[in-house]
Amino acid sequence: MAKTYIVGNWKMNLNVGESSIYLHKLLKRLKIARGVEVIIAPTTIALQPLSLQIDRKRLKLAAQNFYYQDFGAYTGETSISALKGIADYAIVGHSERRYIFKETDKDINKKVAAAIRNNITPILCIGETESEKIFGETKDVLRDQLIGGLSEVSLEDLKKVIIAYEPVWAISSTKGARLAAPDDIAASVNIIREQLKALYGKAAEGIPLLYGGSVNPSNAGAYLTIPGVNGLLIGGSSLIADHFIDIIDLAKRVVR
């Protein structure tokens, strides 16, 4: 049975103490669910202390960011190798990294390769902006971001990658964000699946594909039932324990 992934991206929220309290609350309510992988991505400074508190049978940790070198003179950066044994997953290429911090496809493909090299599963985020969607450029943008992000990934390593489709215009932190209709998501998912098949052939069929963009308990069920979607990448709702648990429970019912 294929896994369903529920990933909570806390972004730059919750200090170490608040993160610990939240995790404690989450673990009290979270039960092991066959077929559902629950992942949280706290701030970098909270990763290590939470790794000592977490029950990895019920919950896994993801890094929000890292540098692609294993070590070196890179003041202020967190190396990918420093995350080994702490994080099982790492978010790569999120639109906030692309558009606020100006990460390029070259930076992103190095991060994807570095994560794989260090036995950490990269969650590669791709997605078009509002203007790119309006001008009919969605297919080209998704193709270019896939090629850019996966250019150093071999056929053998492909099974170690997760793709997350996050249209920038649907992310709640984006000015003027609006909800994506399931039909729009389904069309983009088909584009992504076709592009992956063109790049890797039949081996691409097993790549998990997540959806992210203003996901909440009211729409999560509809998003999870879109053909080709294997889970959700959640922002704001992952910071509210009741909402996050509700979404996890929805995922459990869909898996059944």
Domain range summary for the chain, segments of one domain joined by +? 4-255
What φ, ψ does residue 37 adopt, rounded to 5°? -105, 115
Letter for the amino acid at 175?
Answer: K
Fold of 4-255: TIM Barrel (3.20.20)
Region 60-64: what's the mean pLDDT? Answer: 98
The H or E element containing residue 40 is strand 36-41
pTM of the entire structure? 0.96
- The whole-angstrom separation of Cα 52 and Cα 67 is 23
Residues with active-site annotation: 94, 166
pLDDT given for residue 255 in this prediction: 73
- pLDDT of 183 higher than 90: yes
Q: What is the pLDDT of residues 113-157, one digit of tens each?
A: 999 999 999 999 999 999 999 999 999 999 999 999 999 999 999
